Chains A and B, each alone.
Chain A
Amino acid sequence: MTQIDVGSAAGGVGQAGVEAGTQSRRRALRARRLRRGGVAYALIVPAALAYALFVLRPLGLTLQFSFYEWDGITPSTWVGLANYGALLTDPTLFGPILNAFELIVFFSFIPVALGLLTANLIRGIATSRLAVVARTVLFLPQVIPLVAAGIMWSWQLSTNGVVNQILRLVGLDAVTRAWLGDFDTALGAVGVIGAWVLLGLCMLLLLAGMTKIDPALYEAARIDGAGPVREFFAITLPSLRQEVAVCLTVTIIAALASFDIVYISTQGGPGNSTLVPGLEIYYLAFFEREVGMASALAVALMVLVLAVVLPLQWLNRESDR
């Protein structure tokens, strides 16, 4: 695409001499285009190399490893699809996958819903200084490294952490517990950390989408007597369909492929109640030294993510037509 733009922009002006015949002129044009194209390709090369080296190669290696039984050091044995077969028949893998789907509620639905709400509120006060402060504060979690966020939250959620202190302050002593150490609340507590991190991203994306909505639409709606709620559902939400789809895509991937937050805050515990596929891959590869099995699970996880996310993309494109 780039080379066509460059080519036409420069070629259009052309110092095609009056004296030259049509044929030679065409040939010269073609040569120039080729040359420009060459430059464009050359410009892509570094990025393409990096992409091939750091994305395609690991991807290919993962796929290759998944057909072997290998401990990471000694010679490997070709086992064909046996690793994948083991995946499908291992009942202990359902738990982590189910947990990952539960995390979608926290990592995806809550940030998108809250993001819509906050973005709408911030748009309403767009000119005030409060809007800038609110935007910055809500986006800040995106800037903090996930590991730091995980450690901070595991303190806040501990027995004597801020969360329980506040609950005790308002007389809810009975509710207090070690949130990350309780079977009923650990997954939810991990989800809250994820929601906190991803809310800022969703809010910013949605806010950016709102700025391109034609203000005339709101004016027209107001003349027709629509209140803020009606405005939101009739104008804002439909106009943001694409942004919402992007938010959902990014956050669903974050939920299904989650690793860092879980690893820092619970390591899958208590009793596997927060175990996710990402963590399972890590245990397989680095503790059980089953590199082949871990790779197979990684490939399967990728397929699962695509299976969830691609229909979303397709739906979005369909509704655009």
Chain B
Amino acid sequence: MLLAVASAAGCSSPGSTAGEDAPDQETPAVAGGTGEAPDCGTEPVTLDAYFETGFPLPSVLAEEFSTQYPNVTFDIREDQFAVLTQNAPRVLADDPPDLMRLPQVSNLAEDGLLKNLDPYAEAFGWDEWPASQLEQLRVDEEGRRGDGPLYAMGLNYSLTGVFYNKQLAEQIGMTEPPSTLAELDAALQAAKDAGLTPMAQFNGGATGGLAFPLQALMASYGDPAEINDWIFQSEGATIQTPENVEAAEHLQRWVDAGYFADDVNSLDYAMMMSRFIGGESVFIFNGDWESGNLDEQMPGNVGFFLMPPLEEGGTFGAMSAPLTFGIAEGAENADCAAFFLDWVATDEAARTIGVEVGGSHPMGPADAFMPEVDPDTVTAQTLEAGAALGEQDGAMDFIANATGSIYAKGWTPNLQKLVAGEQDPEGLLAAVQAEYETEAGN
């Protein structure tokens, strides 16, 4: 019976048509190959765009772009990031958008679903920007990131660190951000002693948010470049280094000391935000995508610092990733979409929107125009921190982006176990490495 059903379903092997249609991605043509930078022309163009729900930045940029270039209109579709992640390959293959918010790019690039942006990078001069900005968006033939052709661009690049409630910090005698890890430990202890919740970090459901402090600790103990190598799946990379074990042990000490809320294993991201905004958490590990929101919700009351180094003046790092957008290999208006991406990084109005709406640092050359920001805002502090990180060359991608499900199957369950005392620091790293090898081996 089942065999009959199987034959009824048709016998061609799955995916065979997609293979035949896969376009040749060796020689992308740019604006007739004259070396002139492409643009949107003067004829009416409709850019088919696929954005992420809940983040207004791309839509606001699109609106401004249409004002400056009236012949261009946007046909925008939005979905939640989880939906985008699951559907990205299908959408890129079946209904190629001109502009799309992308999850991790390596598989998509490997499958030939994304346009190689190198010719555009050359035409627009993106290759003269600080290389670290675009590193995460380069994918080589083996699907490893960090090197090779450029397959996506950022609208800006985000930065993570520690946000703190200034009023509560004053209450525990913390008048300025800690400059060493030991000082941070002391501040956490002071918060605990004062009867406050030091950190209501999210770590529930499928979202192991303790990966934020863990990776920050890893960068204070070790070298951010090595962590990047692991994320980019470099040959022989392992997460089980002595430094990372020390970092995980440090995290374990925070758990044991009760610096995290009792119920972190049931907190999701939204709950963390509402507790922090409600003054129920002194610190949280989070990213500057919340800067604008926090300036609005708790004006003047939020501070930000990067995870401090082990010793004063020592090295440190932070997760920093571009807000990734790409062009489908089969996109109809690729030139115009690329022109838009360049405009986002270079136009003054666009960069102002990037900072004010997005809260993060725009892409582009180091000396490019920056809008004025009120120095009392947390946005100003995150932008400043971004500059300091750039000098350090301490930017890392997120350890949850190493493989498709390393977050869901590796980090999240094991970090939750660490909190519950069912996993030790070395076991945590070993379990994640094992999951990494099964997946990267494919």
Residues of A within 8 A of B (CB): 52, 56-57, 59-61, 63-65, 68, 70-76, 78, 158-159, 177-183, 266-272, 275, 283, 286-291
Contact = CB atoms under 8 A, between A and B. Distances in A.
A255 to B, nearest CB: 21
A65 B14 contact: yes
Nearest to B83: A286
A75 B15 CA distance: 5
B410 to A, nearest CB: 11
A95 to B, nearest CB: 10
A202 to B, nearest CB: 29
B404 A288 contact: yes
Contacts of B412: 269
A268 B407 CA distance: 13
Interface string B1-13: 0100111110101
A74 B15 contact: yes
B409 A181 contact: no
Contacts of B405: 283, 287-288
A158 B6 contact: no
Which 3 pairs between the two chains have the least Cβ-Cβ distance? A181-B266, A60-B9, A178-B266
Nearest to A290: B442
B309 interface: no
B204 A268 contact: no
Interface in B1-38: 2, 5-9, 11, 13-16, 18-19, 22
Contact of B266 (A57, A78, A180, A287): A180
Contact of B423 (A271, A287, A290): A271
13 contacts: A59-B2, A72-B89, A73-B93, A73-B111, A76-B15, A78-B13, A159-B266, A178-B204, A181-B204, A270-B265, A270-B416, A283-B409, A287-B405
Contacts of B5: 56-57, 59-60, 63
B265 A286 contact: no
Given A267-B206, A272-B413, A286 B86 contact: yes
B262 interface: yes
B205 interface: yes
Contacts of A283: 405, 408-409
A71 B417 contact: no
B318 interface: no
Contacts of A269: 204-206, 265, 412-413, 416
Given A68-B14, A270-B204, A181 B9 contact: no
Q: Is the interface of B mostly helix, strand, loop or mixed?
A: helix
A180 to B, nearest CB: 5
A283 to B, nearest CB: 6
Size bracket, chain B contacts: 35 or more
Interface string B406-424: 0011001110110110110
A72 B265 contact: no
Given A68-B14, A75-B19, A287-B405, A178 B262 contact: yes
Nearest to B93: A73
Q: Could you say which of A68, A178, A283, A291 has the most chain B C-beta atoms within 10 Å of its C-beta?
A: A178
Contacts of B2: 59-60, 63
A51 to B, nearest CB: 11
A267 B19 CA distance: 34
Interface of B: 2, 5-9, 11, 13-16, 18-19, 22, 85-86, 89-90, 93, 107, 111-113, 204-206, 262-267, 271, 404-405, 408-409, 412-414, 416-417, 419-420, 422-423, 439, 442
B404 A182 contact: no
B262 to A, nearest CB: 7
Contacts of B264: 181
Contacts of A266: 204-205
A209 B292 CA distance: 61
A271 B15 contact: no
Contacts of A178: 204, 262-263, 265-267
A74 B2 CA distance: 26
Contact of A181 (B265, B413, B442): B265
Nearest to B405: A287
B439 A64 contact: no
Given A269-B206, A271-B416, A52 B13 contact: no
A271 B404 CA distance: 18
A183 B18 contact: no
Contacts of B204: 178, 180-181, 266, 269-270
Query: Considering residues B14, B89, B90, B439, which has the most beta carbons from chain A within 10 angstroms of its beta carbon?
Result: B14
B280 to A, nearest CB: 10
A147 to B, nearest CB: 14
B205 A76 contact: no
Contacts of A272: 413
Nearest to A285: B86
Given A178-B266, A271-B416, A286-B86, A64 B15 contact: no
B408 A76 contact: no
A72 B90 contact: yes
Contacts of A71: 15, 89, 107, 111
A81 to B, nearest CB: 14
A78 B2 CA distance: 18
Contacts of B262: 159, 177-178
A289 B404 contact: yes
Contact of A70 (B11, B15, B86, B206): B15
Nearest to B3: A63
A71 B413 CA distance: 24
Contacts of B414: 271
Contacts of A60: 2, 5-9
B22 to A, nearest CB: 7
Contacts of A180: 204, 266
* Most B CB within 10 A of own CB, among A61, A76, A177, A270: A270
B319 to A, nearest CB: 20
Contact of B439 (A52, A57, A78, A288): A288
A270 B420 contact: yes
A65 B16 CA distance: 12
Contacts of A181: 204, 263-267
A73 B414 CA distance: 31
Contacts of A177: 262-263
Nearest to A292: B14
A179 B18 CA distance: 46
A183 B19 contact: no
A181 B206 CA distance: 11
A64 B9 contact: yes
B107 A289 contact: yes
Contacts of B112: 74
